């Protein structure tokens, strides 16, 4: 398979598409193809950043008691989903990909979030994991995950300070990690 799966969910008259299949048909079905759920998750509808983002999306975002919901047409009916629900659909797909690759069930997960995510955004991301049927062991910052993937937790004894640059799609995060005996402190 591919090394990455785009966080896209598309709703059509007949099916729900996730990942590449959803992204590949966005031009044909823009108002029912959802992306950037990460920019809505854990936020309130009236936050200025949400209002600004809404101007650029082809799909409709509505308020449900102050929380944003994404409205789409699916199988001929109007449906509205919370960002956590959209994210959980992508997580289910990732779970299926992991299970197919590993040849066994996956139930535990560590989910990464941008370093700038607040508590509400982190909790909503954890909720998405639970909705997807995952036991979310931990929510960690993306730069920390990058450091672990790079193997900075192995090898050297003593204390080291590491500067991690995370050039995201719309953000640029910098984290300073202190690593001592395999323990990371951000």
Assign a CATH topology to domain 9-83: Defensin A-like (3.30.30)
pLDDT at 160: 80
Q: Could you tell me the residue ranges of all domains in the chain? A: 9-83, 107-185
Contact 71, 60 (CB under 8 A): yes
Give the C-alpha separation, 113 to 96, whole Å: 21
Listed residue (49, 52, 29) closest to 41, CA to CA? 49
pLDDT at 159: 82
Which whole-number Å values give the CA distances from 108 to 7, 105, 141, 148, in the listed order?
A: 20, 9, 17, 18
Residue 156: pLDDT band with limits 50, 70, 90: low
Residue 163 clears pLDDT 90, i.e. is over it = no
Contact 122, 139 (CB under 8 A): yes
User: What's the rounded mean pLDDT across residues 138-160?
Assistant: 78
Q: Which residues pair with 68 in a beta bridge?
A: 63
Q: Using one digit for the tens of pLDDT, what is the confidence trace for 13-67?
A: 999 999 999 999 999 999 999 999 999 999 999 999 999 999 999 999 999 999 9
Between 151 and 107, the higher pLDDT residue: 107
Q: Using one digit for the tens of pLDDT, what is the confidence trace for 76-98?
A: 999 999 999 999 999 999 999 99
Residue 169 clears pLDDT 70, i.e. is over it = no
pLDDT at 170: 64
pLDDT at 155: 65
Residue 165 clears pLDDT 80, i.e. is over it = no
The domain 107-185 is classified under which CATH number: 3.30.420.40, 3.30.360.10, 3.90.78.10, 3.30.2020.30? 3.30.420.40
Give the C-alpha separation, 160 to 153, whole Å: 10
């Amino acid at each position: 398979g591919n090394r990455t799966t785009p966080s896209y969910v598309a709703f059509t008259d007949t099916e729900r598409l996730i990942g590449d299949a959803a992204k590949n048909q966005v031009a044909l079905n823009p108002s029912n193809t959802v992306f950037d759920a990460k920019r809505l998750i854990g936020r309130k509808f009236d936050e200025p950043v949400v209002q600004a983002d809404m101007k650029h999306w082809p799909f409709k975002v509505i308020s449900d008691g102050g929380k944003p919901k994404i409205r789409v047409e699916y199988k001929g009916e109007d449906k509205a989903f919370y960002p956590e629900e959209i994210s959980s659909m992508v997580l289910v797909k990732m779970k299926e990909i992991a299970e197919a690759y590993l040849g066994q069930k996956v139930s535990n997960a560590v989910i990464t979030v941008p370093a700038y995510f607040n508590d509400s955004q982190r909790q909503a991301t954890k909720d998405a994991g639970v909705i997807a049927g995952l036991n979310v062991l931990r929510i960690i910052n993306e730069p920390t995950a990058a450091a672990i993937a790079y193997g900075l937790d192995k090898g050297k004894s003593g204390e080291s300070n590491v500067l991690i640059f995370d050039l995201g799609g719309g953000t640029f995060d910098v984290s300073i990690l202190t690593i001592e005996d395999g323990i990371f402190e951000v």
